[in-house]
Amino acid sequence: EKHVLEPFTLMAHKPNYMLIAAYNAYGYSADLFQEQFNDPSIQVDDTEAQFQLSVKVPLAVNLFDTVDLYAAYTNRSFWQLYNDNSAPFRETNHEPEGWVQFNPKWDFFGFTNAANMFGIVHQSNGRGGVLSRSWNRLYANFIMERGNFALSFKPWYRLPEDDEDDDNPDITDYLGHYEIRGFYKWREHVFSAMSRNNLESGFSNGAVELGWIFPIGNYPYLKGYIQYFTGYGESLIDYDRYVNRIGIGVILTDWL
């Protein structure tokens, strides 16, 4: 964050990584693609590559000595790299957002409230017909730190849409209204866990994501990354389909 005072500086936002191989034990469905393109021969593989690119830029820093303004863009792509017929992107999720951030440094029970964020985010897959997915949210994000441990609580409110414009009216049944993330750094390793919509849905429509970042020898620029996801909402196209997936790859920037 040392360049935050410089204008038009791009910084990492969410983790930037690539899962070279990600295997979904329950399989990805081709039904919607066959319907959209009227082609019953379309098939999708259970193993694909997945990557995320995420950057943010400061719009204003130290307003009133306490407030920062940011904008960010995150691209999450699901690439059918190993598909014999072709190598299309099965799904790409676009997520522009903007927020106001306070860094109060308050102490609670040994934790430091490192940052509080209040923003608006749009997420969509930029597609039409039966493949179209999108939603808009207002959100907050409260980040607590203690030593090598960090905790993030992110509640949100979905902005309502007209029924005729809503491609996914039941999306909050699967993605809920908040997520919790925890991180622990041990030497050169980072362990992470995410829980979303589990308590809300009675543990029926939720999701859990576990991550392990580890060094690759003495190479300083990339680290190894294993990510396990189980539940709903892995991607917008499959927000209402159960996924049980593990992937391995490399990571350039992490949450910590």
Give whole-number Cα distances, 28 to 154, 161, 177, 227, in Å.
28, 28, 25, 18
Which of 94, 124, 132, 195 is catalytic? The answer is 124
Sign of the CA dihedral running 44, 47, 49, 54: positive
Residue 3: active-site member: no
Which of 94, 122, 132, 195 is catalytic? The answer is 122
Task: Summarize the chain as % helix, strand, coil (round to 5).
Answer: 5, 55, 40
Sign of the CA dihedral running 64, 118, 54, 215: positive
State the burial class of residue 195 (Cβ atoms within 10 Å of its Cβ: 0-12, 13-18, 19+): middle
Residue 23 · residue 47 · CB < 8 Å: yes
What SS3 class is residue 121? strand
Residue 13: active-site member: no
Residue 241 · residue 254 · CB < 8 Å: no
- The residues carrying an active-site annotation are 122, 124
